[in-house]
Structure 1
Amino acid sequence: MSIDPRAYWQEDVLEQEYQRIFSRGFYAGNANGLRAEGDYSSYQVCGRPIVTRNIDGKPRSFENICLHRANLIDPPGRGNRPFRCAYHAWQYDADGTLERAPLANQECIGRRQLQSYATVENRGMVFVAPEGELDPGTGVAALDAIGFELGESFHSETLEHGANWKFLVENVIEAYHVSIVHESSFVPTGISSTSRSTNQFFGRDSCAHTANKNQDGSKGRLIPGATGDYLHAYIFPNLFVSITGGLVGFISHFKPQSAGQTLLEWELFETPLLMAQKTAVRNYIKQQAIDFTRKVLGEDLVVLNNSQIGIRHARGPHQLQEIEGRLAHFHETYLRMMS
């Protein structure tokens, strides 16, 4: 069974998705930007303003709405500042309790506690659950399967998509489109729609190991231990992690902004193998990785935005093929959680 086309463009469906999927847990971002006291990451998930902060050395998350007049306490993005609203300086403590309200009449203040959310850090990855608890081992099985080890981040960007979040997931977890959409990017590297690929499933998560057709390529000869293989993990609902050739890691995650708008954030990091190489080699491979990633994401952006236009008038659900096994697993997981 496939997802109803209406689920890709109706706002009331996104509201249900927040309640049944995203409120139960999602990837919020890399902990590397939350290492100092006062560091924060302010964002929206399905329209909900949320902030994740370093408080007493640990990530903690709250509803990012001031109790006074509903201004955002922390402005969108990342930074470092006191946990204080920039409008009238109402300030909050480590538990989200109102600590200070300048010039305020205390008798006029009834609500003094921000809504807090369960937050866990796992291998430098921060996960948040607005409702309920989080498994401390979230995503571990799939990350282990691809040999994930967070290295030194060297580049990050954001990319706005005029497409529903489910299109981003579907595109990333299938290789069917690679030879067509990425004919001038992935294909020359030895990865195509017909590359031998092995899938593994871990509850809601999945991963794939795609073998490179050009195993005798230049990277393998230049750096002992490097390959051309592509390892990819999807941690439900919004995190993607991949490792290319054992050298460059890629982390991307999205936050739905509306039914037809999704913000993708991505970063590249060095694996231990790349970090062990000479500076000139590292810099060359890193720049190649930046250019390659921009090209691939740009190619995907076009088809995803076009899919959003088409889905509104689709006469039936997707007709999934055998080659799209991970995509079918995603649909099954989604439908189960939404039922």
Structure 2
Amino acid sequence: MTHAVLDDALFAAMESSILPTEQAESLPPLCYTSAEFYEFEKDAVFAREWLCVGRDSWAPEPGSYFTSFIADEPIVVARGRDGVLRAMSSVCQHRGMLVAEGCGKTRAFVCPYHHWTYTLDGTLAAAPAMEKSCGFDKSKASLPLFAVEIWEGFVFINFDREAAPLAPRLAKVTEILKPYGMADAEGEKPSGEQRYPWNWKVMFENNNDGYHASKLHQGPLHDFIPSELAEFPDDLPDDTAGYYRTNRTLHPDASFNATQRAVLPVFTGLTDDERHRMVFANLPPTLSLVMTADAVIYLILRADGPESHRVDQGVLTAPGSSADPAFRHKMAMNMQAAGEIIDQDLHVDELVQVGLRSRFAPRGRYSWQEGAQRLFNSWLVPRYREAWARQQRG
């Protein structure tokens, strides 16, 4: 017999996860494994928060579009003839068929099932043979539109069109990332997605975890960024939409390749001091960033189940980098090293998910080098608390 996992005791227990790092413990394991909790989380987090779906450059001209899928919601992002980027449901309002797949360029979205046709702003333009349907009003069958905001070149959508703006709640994060000039950075659209069999929060926690770096990644590809040089901000506002850590490096212009140094052009906005560190930033629940002196690796996480998610992984470089005839070879140096490090992380993430299913899974205590985990919890727990209170009020 299956028992409900959501109750007052569960949410009260989460309060210990947002204590100061030296006192805090990890979230209850069922937050990473339970289908019931994932359904709760879809309302508590994904239905109300700003979700990264791609880059503004992925739809550069009128008629261009790309699609995404987050927490069971198919999404299409398209640039209209007026140059405005819009996001909408890609679910046809007739019988539920998707009107768009992949990416490309189009004059309109035509449902392949019954040829209902939608303009680039989601308006239903044609519905064949519906003239005998009583009370059918074409103007009320447009694709649902979502709120859209562009931050540092990344496209964010919100299913709640009345949601508070994103950028003001990212002031501290924006300040620390400003030297990288991501809005103007170069980077091709990722060619394909990866799907991983573990909870999206496991991935987020690993991506900003300084504690494991000198252990799991020990060796010449990572030793120049030791765990003991991790630093965590103590001035993030309570309503922040993201968080970060910085990590000092043993030499300037450190980068992930066999030379340990930048081989691509260094971002010109970096000061001498900033060239002696890396930055790791998370904008939950969808965007994770790793910033080196010559490249930004980004991961767009798209939850699709209690124990699985999809990832779009891409790289941004300084403007003009790709003009170098050796760019492809230099990028390959970086990605070979990054790939080895990422493979180590992926192996650990998969086994962490296995461990979290165990009846012996702990609520572990944190090292000071895991300050980012406490920052993540401090983002999550209030949202869980508020959603549970809404449910209880009915």
| TM-score, L = length of structure 2 | 0.77
Q: State the one-letter code of the partner of 1:79.
A: G
Q: Distance in 2 between matches of 1:87 and 1:307?
A: 42
Choose which of 219, 226, 237 in structure 2 pairs with 1:192: 226
Asked if residue 129 in structure 1 is aligned to residue 161 in structure 2, the reply is no
For the aligned residue pairs, the C-alpha RMSD in angstroms reads 2.7
1:146-157 equivalences in 2 (<5 Å): 146=177, 147-150=179-182, 151-154=185-188, 156=190, 157=192
Distance 1:33 1:229, change over 3 A: same
Structure (1/2) with the larger strand percentage: 1
Which range moves more in the overlay, 293-302 or 136-145? 136-145
> How much does 1:50 deviate?
1.8
2:303 aligns to what?
A: 256
1:42 aligns to what?
A: 67
1:144 aligns to what?
A: 175
Q: Deviations over 1:151-206 (max 9, x none)?
A: 11157353221110000111111111112222246424x01322343436352411
Q: State the one-letter code of the partner of 1:328.
A: R
1:177-256 equivalences in 2 (<5 Å): 177-184=212-219, 186-188=221-223, 190-199=224-233, 201-202=236-237, 203-215=240-252, 219=261, 227=275, 229-244=277-292, 246-256=293-303
Q: Deviations over 1:59-95 (max 9, x none)?
A: 21112211111101112x3222322212221111344
2:77 aligns to what?
A: 52
Contact in 1 for aligned 2:63/2:79 (Cα 8 Å): yes
2:335 aligns to what?
A: 290
> How much does 1:19 deviate?
1.1
Matched position secondary structure for 1:139 = helix
**Count of residue pairs the alignment pairs up:** 334
Which range moves more in the overlay, 178-187 or 37-46? 178-187
Q: State the one-letter code of the partner of 1:199.
A: P
Q: Distance in 1 between matches of 2:265 and 2:56?
A: 30
Contact in 2 for aligned 1:9/1:164 (Cα 8 Å): yes
Distance 1:216 1:36, change over 3 A: closer
Q: Percent of aligned pairs with the same residue?
A: 20
| TM-score, L = length of structure 1 | 0.88
Contact in 1 for aligned 2:265/2:294 (Cα 8 Å): no
Unaligned residue ranges in structure 1 (runs of 5+): none
> How much does 1:247 deviate?
1.1
> How much does 1:301 deviate?
0.9
1:1-339 equivalences in 2 (<5 Å): 1-2=16-17, 3-24=27-48, 25-55=50-80, 56-75=82-101, 77-81=102-106, 82-105=108-131, 107-108=133-134, 109=136, 111-131=140-160, 132-135=162-165, 137=167, 139-146=170-177, 147-150=179-182, 151-154=185-188, 156=190, 157-184=192-219, 186-188=221-223, 190-199=224-233, 201-202=236-237, 203-215=240-252, 219=261, 227=275, 229-244=277-292, 246-272=293-319, 275=320, 279-280=324-325, 282-313=327-358, 314-339=360-385
Distance 1:58 1:134, change over 3 A: farther
Contact in 2 for aligned 1:212/1:230 (Cα 8 Å): yes
Q: State the one-letter code of the partner of 2:145.
A: S
> How much does 1:267 deviate?
0.7
